[in-house]
Amino acid sequence: MDKILITGGLGFIGHNISVALKDAGFEVVIVDNYSHNINQPWHKVIINQRLDIIKKVGIPVFTADTSEEFQIENIVLEINPDKIIHTAAIPDARLSNLNPSAGFNQNLLATKFLLETIRKNDLKIGQFTYFSSSMIYGDFLSESVNEDAPKDPKGIYGAAKLSSELLIKAYHNLIDLPYTIIRPSALYGPRCINNRVTQVFIEKALKGEPITIQGDGSQKLDFTFIDDFVRGLVITQTHPDAINCIFNLTTGCAEPIGNLVKILNKYFKDLEVIYEPWDKIVPVRGTLTIEKLKGLGFEPQYRIENGYPKYIEWYLDNNDYFKIGVN
């Protein structure tokens, strides 16, 4: 039974994959600094839900900040994992662009510290998995991109993610570190508070506030429901052909942002929508092809038509608890 260390394991992705990997038979240990993107009272409630889930399944949590070199080195040496999954990062690209120094420290320097811990201490890590981003491609040059498409990130977040990918490959060449790189896109689902449009639109609707869309609503994203992402991630940790590979892990079918509003209209009547110019620092994206991961058995089950309603209904089922929009 391999021991997996998951950095940022209390985050949206982290707590979901921690439970799934434990269910798959791995010994899972979480490292987290308990720093979350909490800007509303109900976000604290959602964080507590994550903590309750992790506690219920008995996954130990170590407190450490991956951007503190000696702190994270000591924790890694104490845990002595067989695998590392590095999810810890600033999950909101907007925040990285507003504070480039923090974006650099959390999204690149932390990766370097983990890699140096492995090298300096000659740790025998069987797989180092890194969560990158669709942001690394920059503006898509076609409606869909595969893993070999040109990379031209436009902001600090995407640049730091791509830099981390290159650093991981360099350490692979230097110390023969087995790696897997995952590129997600527009993740959403219950307990997500990463300030993505899927979440922001629902919370605006619950508060009776206008929904703001950049562009005219026709711009597309490869929206990925968390359950699909988790299934794909488990494959990358259990299939031998996932080693030393890079995978897009998405639905594999981009859909217009405006379609989210169409689905919301089934639950919230008379939604007001405000359109504003597209932010030039945000890349124009589309579909991320997933043929490589499909070759290992991955098959997504969700599109926004059946995934987004589950997210909306989760908010509605919990709103007596959250009290969003209640004075």
Tell me whether residue 10 is in a domain.
Answer: yes
pLDDT of 326: 67
Tell me whether residue 122 is in a domain.
Answer: yes
Tell me whether residue 213 is in a domain.
Answer: no
Predicted TM-score (pTM) of the model is 0.95
Tell me whether residue 308 is in a domain.
Answer: no
**Per-residue confidence of the chain (327 residues) as pLDDT tens digits?**
899 999 999 999 999 999 999 999 999 999 998 877 677 889 989 999 999 999 999 999 999 988 899 999 999 999 999 999 999 887 777 767 777 777 777 788 899 999 999 999 999 999 999 999 999 999 999 999 999 999 999 989 999 999 999 999 999 999 999 999 999 999 999 999 988 999 999 999 999 999 999 999 999 999 999 999 999 999 999 999 999 999 999 999 999 999 999 999 999 988 999 999 988 888 999 999 999 999 999 999 999 999 999 999 999 999 998 999 864
Question: Is the C-alpha dihedral spanning 307, 312, 318, 323 positive or negative?
Answer: positive
Tell me whether residue 53 is in a domain.
Answer: yes
Question: Count of domains in the chain?
Answer: 1
Tell me whether residue 150 is in a domain.
Answer: yes
- Give the range of the structural domain holding residue 148, as residue numbers without chain letter: 3-187+224-251+288-301
pLDDT of 102: 72
Token reading at 91: 């999950």
Residue partners of 255: CB distance under 8 A and separation at least 6: 220, 221, 222, 223, 303, 304
**How does DSSP assign 72-84, residue by residue?**
HHHHHHHH--SEE
Tell me whether residue 82 is in a domain.
Answer: yes
The domain that holds 59 is classified in CATH as 3.40.50.720
Tell me whether residue 325 is in a domain.
Answer: no
- Bridge partners for 164 per DSSP: none
